[in-house]
Amino acid sequence: MKKVKVTTVSPRQKGASVPKPNPKWGREEETEVFAKRVKLFRQGKISEDDFRRFRLQHGAYGSRLHMDYSMVRIKVPGGEMTPEQIEKIASLSEAFSIGSAHVSTRQNIQLHWVQLEDVSEVMRGLVETGLTTREACGNTIRNVMCSHFAGVCPNEAFDATPYSMAIARFFLRNPMCQNLPRKFKINFACCDLHGLEKVADIGLVPLTKEENGTMVRGFKIYLGGGLGAASFIGHQLEDFTAESRMLATCMATVRLFDRRGNRENMARNRMRYLVHETGWEKFQKMALKERSIVEMTTSYSTAQLFDIESQEDTRHLPNAPRMAKLPMLNDSVTKDSPGFERWLHTNVAVQKQESYFTAFITLGAGDITASQLRVLASAIRDYSAEGVARNTPQQNFAVRYIRGTELRDFYEKLASAGLANPGALTITSAVGCSGTTSCNLAITNSHRLAKEVQRKFLELGLDTDDNLRDATIKISGCPNSCGQHEIATVGFFGGATRMNNAMVPTYTMLFGGSSGELGKAMMRVPAKRVIDTILKIIEIYKQQKSTNETLQQWVSGVSKGRGVGSIKNLEDMKAALAQVIQLPASDIDADAYMDYGSDSRFSAKTARGECAA
């Protein structure tokens, strides 16, 4: 009788020639240390403060008003994930979390409501597939972001991915950044259009320059940007930073911040405050000087820790078969168009590689179930020639290197699991942080609101309106900008307001933001009036717009007082919306006074944030 061996056979990777190797970000010994520390903490042998610092350093946040549970933040450099990693996260979410995983706005994957005692088991599973939670929270260098278009972007000077990975590896567990004054964020863009380089402590955009007849690689580097209770746009350090000076520039900036950052006032200790208080010109001089010192003093062995070459994808990806007729990405569609055409129009982008395409998976505020993750993993294996996917700051997934000839099959596969919703690249793909679903700081349920906005907008077919396409809706549950509300066309952050003698969950609405410009706070809108308010704005835009003006352009104009119709500025806009935000008395419409996801009277409950531990 033949013996039965119950093992899962390594699945065939149809799409890619060779699967990507395990990136080995994680270390098994760290999971054991974590389990031990939890026990010591429970036995009262470590103080709460010490334990919190340790826990955050290893990527586990306390959950909203319930410290027995953690949010485990999985650091995913550049958002790049293999099918094995996606499947592992599916299993871990089922076993230890809530059966769904959550894509953050900084390319992390978060597992919520994990019992503190199980966190080490989650970490153990992650390590098997090369992932880590190390330094995903706490006063460290957080996940290094890289544009999900890097490597396929038609506008990019070169692929920033290996640089971003090399930087992530250099700083991970590096003694120089284990106890910074506050968290520190590094974002790589692909080009000036697709990145978040201006809202990070260090933002980098690839750039080439001709020097003595040869093209040299380098970056535009922005310092001191960031979103939060007070937000700033980064300053460009110099015209061109050669790639050979990139590491030194980053190290110098981190060192300056480490030495001079504010370690006393937790509310003002991000580097952007240091830059602001020092004054950019002075800070710029300091940074350049520090860089010279770093360049003179960096040891050979330290420099060896930064290795771009080892991070390059050396696999040779085959050319995609040429298509007699290219897919009609630009054909206009309506909400009654066939599902595939609508999806093609609103979820698929061209790549610089001929006949290859990048398709986006539309999620609701970044949530995806374990079984959907498994279908996604299988779809990546079957259809992506690079055999990986990237999660995006819009809380979606980008699957790249799909042959144009296979887009329909790919779509069908996703559709079977409810993953083929349209609208990923449009206004309907609203961003929402986790809000009151799990965060201590949240005042409102921004998460659910973002999903409600998406649901309503898709139902109305707003994804098919190309004039709305480049506009964005981003929602945070408190003034701290995890939902990135300042860089949205129309952004919202949660609060509480007394109206008609009752507390109401409200959002402060911001107008006219973009990835390089901060929106302006305008007015407070009750949570249950947010959707109507956005729809009213769209209605007014349609009456007021000049020919070919998109919603994003129109809103931006109004926010600068440059409106050409009867709505010239924010004051006019406010007056036009005054009616929509009214609430009837609470005994007439009790629901209007409650937050989404709640059937009881609203009260603002928060606890201490752990961002600055």
Partner 1 sequence: MRSLTAAAGKKKAAKTSTIQLPIICDADTLRSLISKKAVRVVDVRKANDYKQEHIPTAISLPLARVLENDAPEKIVSILEELGVSDKTPVVVYDDTFGALAARVAWTFQFVGHTNTALLEMTFKQWKELGLETEESARTFPKAKHSLEVNKSIYADASYVEAAKSQPGKLLVDSRERLNFLTEHIPGAKNIPYTMVGSNGSILRKAEELKRFIENRGIADTTEIITYCGSVGTLSGLTYYALRLAGFQNVKLYPKSFKEWKALGKPREEFKDATYWDLSAE
| Secondary element (H or E) of residue 531 | helix 530-544
Q: Is 378 in the site for partner 1 (CB under 8 A)?
A: no
| Cα 261 from Cα 266, distance rounded (Å) | 10
- Toward partner 1, which CB reaches closer, 161 or 445? 445
Q: Is 97 in the site for partner 1 (CB under 8 A)?
A: yes
Q: Is 369 in the site for partner 1 (CB under 8 A)?
A: yes
| Cα 481 from Cα 200, distance rounded (Å) | 12
Backbone angles phi, psi at 372, to 5 degrees: -65, -40
Judged by CB under 8 A, which of 159, 258, 367, 465 binds partner 1?
367
Site string for partner 1, 310-349 (x = CB under 8 A): ----------------------------------------
The minimum distance between CB 185 and partner 1, in angstroms, equals 24
Cβ-based neighbours of 559, under 8 Å, separated by 6 or more:
511, 512, 519, 520, 570
Q: Is 100 in the site for partner 1 (CB under 8 A)?
A: yes
Q: Is 161 in the site for partner 1 (CB under 8 A)?
A: no
- Toward partner 1, which CB reaches closer, 41 or 163? 41
Q: Is 392 in the site for partner 1 (CB under 8 A)?
A: no
Q: Are strands 389-391 and 60-63 parallel, antiparallel or unpaired?
A: unpaired
Q: Is 429 in the site for partner 1 (CB under 8 A)?
A: no
| Cα 310 from Cα 323, distance rounded (Å) | 34
Answer yes or no: are the C-beta atoms of 115 and 60 closer than 8 Å. no
- Toward partner 1, which CB reaches closer, 2 or 316? 2
Q: Is 593 in the site for partner 1 (CB under 8 A)?
A: no
Q: Is 600 in the site for partner 1 (CB under 8 A)?
A: yes
Q: Is 363 in the site for partner 1 (CB under 8 A)?
A: yes
Amino acid sitting at position 189:
A
Give the pair of three-digit tokens for residue 146.
């890289």
Q: Is 262 in the site for partner 1 (CB under 8 A)?
A: no
Give the pair of three-digit tokens for residue 173.
């567990």
DSSP conformation class of 364 = B
| Cα 483 from Cα 297, distance rounded (Å) | 40
The minimum distance between CB 38 and partner 1, in angstroms, equals 7
Cα end-to-end span (Å), the chain = 60
Q: Is 226 in the site for partner 1 (CB under 8 A)?
A: no
Answer yes or no: are the C-beta atoms of 583 and 500 closer than 8 Å. yes
Dihedral over Cα of 566, 572, 578, 580: its sign: positive
Q: Is 55 in the site for partner 1 (CB under 8 A)?
A: no
| Cα 607 from Cα 151, distance rounded (Å) | 42
The minimum distance between CB 124 and partner 1, in angstroms, equals 9
The minimum distance between CB 228 and partner 1, in angstroms, equals 23
Q: Taking the CB of residue 200, how many other CB atoms lie within 10 A of it?
A: 28
Site string for partner 1, 445-474 (x = CB under 8 A): x-xx--x-----------------------
The minimum distance between CB 522 and partner 1, in angstroms, equals 26
Query: For the chain, what is the radius of gyration of the CA atoms?
Result: 24
Site string for partner 1, 116-155 (x = CB under 8 A): -xx-xx----------------------------------
Q: Is 63 in the site for partner 1 (CB under 8 A)?
A: yes
CB-neighbour burial class of residue 98 (10 A; exposed 0-12, middle 13-18, buried 19+): middle
Q: Is 46 in the site for partner 1 (CB under 8 A)?
A: no
**Footprint of partner 1 (CB under 8 A):** 1, 3-4, 6-8, 35, 38-39, 42-43, 63-66, 91, 94-100, 102, 112-113, 115, 117-118, 120-121, 363-364, 367-369, 372, 434-438, 445, 447-448, 451, 595-598, 600, 605
